[in-house]
Amino acid sequence: MYVIVVGSGKVGLNLSRELIDKGHEVTLLESDRRRYLIVEEELEHAVQYGDATELWVLERAGIQRADLVVAVTGDDEDNMLVCQVAKEKYLCERVIARVNNPRNLQHFKLLGIQPVVSATDLILRLIEHEVPRYGLVHLLALEEERLEIIELEVQEGAPAAAKRVGEVELPQGSLIISVLRDGRGFVPTADTVVEAGDQVLLVLDSGLEEMITPVFAPD
Amino acid sequence: MFVLIVGAGRVGAAVAKRALARGHEVSVLDEDPLSHERLVEVEGQTWEDAGGLFTVGTALEVDALIEAGVQRADVFIASTDGDNTNLTVSQIVQRRFGVEKVLCRVMDPARAAWYAEQGLHTISPTQHAIEMFDQALSTEA
């Protein structure tokens, strides 16, 4: 795979190294002359000097044949525009953008840039996972497909507690896919009994959380 | 008309003053509070006394755009000193707030041309300079 990585900070440099180790062809782009010279000592011809928001810099890097463009500079505007141009002008099918300020996530979405990776957001999700609020954790959101996977802790006395999976009343468009109990997880059958204290994983159509949460965690 | 201008540099401030003098409602957003000084009117009247609005804030902050009146803007002008800021904020204003007329300054002629093809009204001072130099040269010869 040919990958163009934009921004040779810690993220970009480490990512490029890993990709090269895995046998991929990589061009790393860096717009700061001093940083470029440092990185060039290690990566040699795999790094090019230039501002990737300029079209000729992308073209020199061979954007026309890139399988993937990863924009991981510290500047959200740069990441957004590099990905936009890669997708829309050079028809590169896959882009990945780093979001530095989670408040800018909405702008990436608005410009149709996905997937995006936000370290702040990831850490927030991890914290949410460790300290679940209302017992609900979003594990995965497939935005294009409008599907989500969530995790809920079953409360004592909840409508679903002590019921067989087949009897738990769930809205259409949702399904219990896994039960976590005593440190291990399993895929339930219709006869599996949901116990208070279990963690259940559900796949659901986006937007159904509010109907599903009371079934497992009414408080 | 309500005109919102982001970036009160030489260009932005001059355009703002002209628009105000022409009787439009003008709101200026800039992250640097000192840029307000460029807006002081020649007759000694302050920008606010003349009816102008000024907000301190960053272009990508939706709250700042709203405070500056983006929701009722008829015209939006992106004239910060950063092409990337101008291109990003222009698209946000166009797509999210549906502002009808969005004008965007882009120094880089190549991107100004490509984004113009995508339907953004870009203005490239660099391209103008290139053409004027070229024209001056060709009349010399």
Q: What is the identity of the amino acid at A37? A: L
Q: What pLDDT shows up at residue A23?
A: 96
**Omega before residue A218 within 30° of 0, cis:** no
Q: Which CATH number goes with the domain that contains B109?
A: 3.40.50.720
pLDDT one-digit tens code per residue, A153-204: 898 999 999 999 999 999 999 999 999 998 899 999 999 999 999 999 999 9
The position carrying tokens 């040699």 is: A44
Residue B126 phi/psi, 5-degree rounding, is -65, -45
Q: What pLDDT shows up at residue B33?
A: 93
CATH superfamily of A2-120: NAD(P)-binding Rossmann-like Domain (3.40.50.720)
Whether A58 contacts A85, CB under 8 Å: yes
Helix (H, G, I), strand (E, B) or coil at A5: strand
Q: What are the chain B neighbours of A85 within 8 Å (beta carbons)?
A: 111, 114
B35 phi-psi bin (left φ>0, alpha ψ -120 to 50, beta other): alpha
Across chain A, mean pLDDT equals 91
* B110–A104 CB contact, under 8 Å: no
Instruction: Write out the residue range of the structural domain in which residue B134 sits.
Output: 2-140
Of A27-31, A32-36, A82-86, A206-210, minimum mean pLDDT range:
A206-210
Selection from A88, A50, A37 nearest residue A27 by Cα: A50
Q: Which two tokens stand for residue B127?
A: 């391209």
Q: Is A52 part of the contact surface with chain B (CB cutoff 8 Å)?
A: no
Say what percent of chain A tops pLDDT 90. Answer: 73
DSSP A164: B
* Domain map (residue ranges) of chain A: 2-120, 132-216
Selection from A192, A204, A130, A203 nearest residue A161 by Cα: A192
Q: Alpha-carbon distance A204 to A173, whole Å?
A: 6
Whether B93 contacts B72, CB under 8 Å: no
Of A58-72, A127-141, A180-194, B49-63, minimum mean pLDDT range:
A127-141
Q: What is the identity of the amino acid at B42? A: V
Residues 65 through 84 of chain A touching chain B, CB cutoff 8 Å: 75-78, 80-81
Helix (H, G, I), strand (E, B) or coil at A152: strand
Q: Which two tokens stand for residue A202?
A: 């559900």
Selection from B69, B125, B65 nearest residue B92 by Cα: B65
Say what percent of chain B tops pLDDT 90. Answer: 87
From the list B84, B92, B95, which residue is nearest A81 (CB)?
B84
Number of domains in chain B: 1
Q: In the predicted model, is pLDDT for residue B82 greater than 60?
A: yes
Pick the CATH number of A132-216 from 3.30.70.1450, 3.30.70.260, 3.30.70.270, 3.40.50.720: 3.30.70.1450
Nearest CA distance, B88 vs chain A (angstrom) = 6
pLDDT one-digit tens code per residue, A90-148: 999 999 999 999 999 999 999 999 899 988 888 877 777 666 555 677 778 777 788 88
Q: What pLDDT shows up at residue A134?
A: 57
The position carrying tokens 């939006």 is: B76
Residues 87 through 106 of chain A touching chain B, CB cutoff 8 Å: 88-89, 103-104, 106
Q: Alpha-carbon distance A69 to B134, whole Å?
A: 37
Q: What angle do CA A178, A182, A184 make, to 5 degrees?
A: 45
User: How many H helices and E strands in chain A?
Assistant: 7, 11
Q: What pLDDT shows up at residue A130?
A: 66
Helix (H, G, I), strand (E, B) or coil at A110: helix
Residues 169 through 198 of chain A touching chain B, CB cutoff 8 Å: none
Q: How far is CA B72 from CA A96, B28, B53, B66, B68, in A?
A: 34, 14, 13, 9, 9
Q: What pLDDT shows up at residue B98?
A: 94
* A77–B96 CB contact, under 8 Å: no
pLDDT one-digit tens code per residue, A7-24: 999 999 999 999 999 999
Whether B39 contacts B49, CB under 8 Å: no
Average pLDDT on B129-140 reads 92
Q: What are the chain B neighbours of A103 within 8 Å (beta carbons)?
A: 61
Q: How far is CA A57 from CA A2, A61, A215, B11, in A?
A: 16, 6, 55, 28
Q: Is A111 part of the contact surface with chain B (CB cutoff 8 Å)?
A: yes
Q: What pLDDT shows up at residue A120?
A: 83
Q: What angle do CA A183, A127, A103 make, to 5 degrees?
A: 145
ipTM: 0.87
